[in-house]
Amino acid sequence: MFIYNFIKILSIVIIVLLSVAYFTLAERKIMGTIQRRRGPNVVGFQGLMQPLADGLKLFVKESVLPSNANKVLFVIAPMITFGLSLMGWVVIPLGSGLVLADINVGILYLLGISALGVYGIILSGWSSNSKYAFLGALRSAAQMVSYEVSLGFILVCVVLCAGSFNLISIVLAQQHVWYYLPHFPVFVLFFISALAETNRHPFDLPEAEAELVSGYNVEYSAMGFALFFLGEYANMLLMSALTTILFLGGWLPIIDCFPFNWIPGPLWFGLKICFFVILFVVMRACLPRLRYDQLMNLGWKVFLPFSLGWLLFTASILISFNWLPN
């Protein structure tokens, strides 16, 4: 039993790491196309070996420890960030029955993992003993906490409609209509909040090069930097997967008829994730960075009241028409 579970965990880790590696390649190719320049095209056929070459380069480089840093926390911080980004995939169903841990409180588990992700960033900024890293860590912590509140209210809206915290039950509840149709305003809010939660454009204030040199990871090199990098991209894939499960019917086909119902569920799931991945990249290529006060005002004065109001509206509609699931 232990060996079987270990193989399942290892397979998920390998799939996520390969997805992250080629997500970085896809990002560079798409941005190169948008900006009318060549992306990576030298290492391997059309640059397909570039992610492996980048990983090998970071693996063999020397890790530099700042002389005044708290070395234990400095080393542990990227491990926490990377480990938590992988732990979230434990409850993500890739298809019907294809999930490592089918727990009844999958949504709460993901919220807990997301909240713990702040600790890795705070520890990295504080243990570096650098004011630039510390400012970047404080920015990131405030930003993640601010947008997690809105994300939580939006998740409760979906949970009310599905009548379950289980992710598989939420997908199966969308067999007749995907939740992005009745919940379209908060669907858009959820995706924008996911951008802020993962520190991506136009909300990449923690890594503002012009102001903070690089942000919380400024003192990291080699594998320490690589773990932060992998954790960030794994979180983007995780948020894309969660958006797909909550609003786009997970592995369910677009149209439940031939030839669409012959396409495997995991393939549908992957295609929907790719749609959001491309949106993440397009946002980075097209949008300017917000000011920090604009970022916080948007989170607390726009997203929070709207998501709370939509939750009350959803609950009142379900109660008024007696549509609450049993």
**Within-domain flag for 206:** yes
Residue 322: what pLDDT? 79
Tell me the pLDDT tens digit for each residue of 49-98: 888 888 888 888 888 888 888 888 888 988 998 888 888 898 998 887 78
pLDDT tens-digit readout, 296-319: 899 899 999 999 999 999 999 888
Bond from prior residue into 325 cis (ω within 30 degrees of 0): no
Residue 187: the pLDDT is: 93
Q: What size, in residues, is the chain?
A: 326
Tokens (6 digits) for 11: 């397979």
Q: Is the pLDDT of residue 205 over 80?
A: no
Residue 45 lies in a domain: no
- Contact in structure between 305 and 151 (CB atoms under 8 Å): no
Q: Is residue 2 part of a domain?
A: no
* Residue 188 within any structural domain of the chain: yes
Single-letter amino acid, residue 167: L
Cβ atoms 57, 68 nearer than 8 A: no
**What number is the average pLDDT over the span 98-108?**
85
- Residue 325: per-residue pLDDT: 73
Higher per-residue confidence, 43 vs 308: 308
Domain hosting residue 191, numbered range: 64-320
pLDDT of residue 102: 82
Looking at residue 64, its pLDDT comes to: 82
Q: How many domains does the chain have?
A: 1
**Global pTM?**
0.90
Chain mean pLDDT for the chain: 85
Would you say residue 125 lies in a domain? yes
Decide if 212 contacts 272 (C-beta within 8 A). no
Contacts of 97 (CB under 8 A, 6+ apart): none
Phi-psi region of 16 (alpha: psi -120 to 50; beta: other; left: phi over 0): alpha
Domain membership of residue 15 (yes or no) is: no
β partners of residue 321: none
Beta bridge partners of 95: 98
Segment 202-207 shows an average pLDDT of: 74
Find out whether 234 and 86 touch, Cβ atoms under 8 Å.
Answer: yes
Tokens, residue 275: 């749609």
Q: Which residue has the tokens 């997967």?
A: 241
In the structure, what pLDDT confidence band is assigned to residue 47 with cuts at 50, 70 and 90?
Answer: confident
Convert the chain into a string of H (helix), E (strand) and C (coil).
CHHHHHHHHHHHHHHHHHHHHHHHHHHHHHHHHHCCCCCCCCCCHHHCCHHHHHHHHHHHCCCCCCCCCCHHHHHHHHHHHHHHHHHHHHHCCCECCECCCCCCCHHHHHHHHHHHHHHHHHHHHHHCCCHHHHHHHHHHHHHHHHHHHHHHHHHHHHHHHHCCCCHHHHHHCCCCCCCCCCCHHHHHHHHHHHHHHCCCCCCCHHHCHHHHCCCCCCCCCHHHHHHHHHHHHHHHHHHHHHHHHHHCCCCCCCCCCCCHHHCCHHHHHHHHHHHHHHHHHHHHHHCCCCCHHHHHHHHHHHHHHHHHHHHHHHHHHHHHCCCCCC
Q: Tell me how far apart the alpha carbons of residues 157 and 162 are, in angstroms, rounded to a whole number.
A: 9
Question: Mean pLDDT throughout 42-52?
Answer: 83
Task: Residue 280: name the closest of 224, 316, 249, 241 by CA.
Answer: 241
Which pLDDT tens digit goes with each residue over 216-270? 778 888 888 888 888 889 999 999 999 999 998 888 887 666 666 677 778 888 8
Rounded to whole angstroms, how far apart are CA atoms 65 and 290?
Answer: 32
- Tell whether 301 is covered by a domain: yes
Does residue 295 belong to any structural domain of this protein?
yes
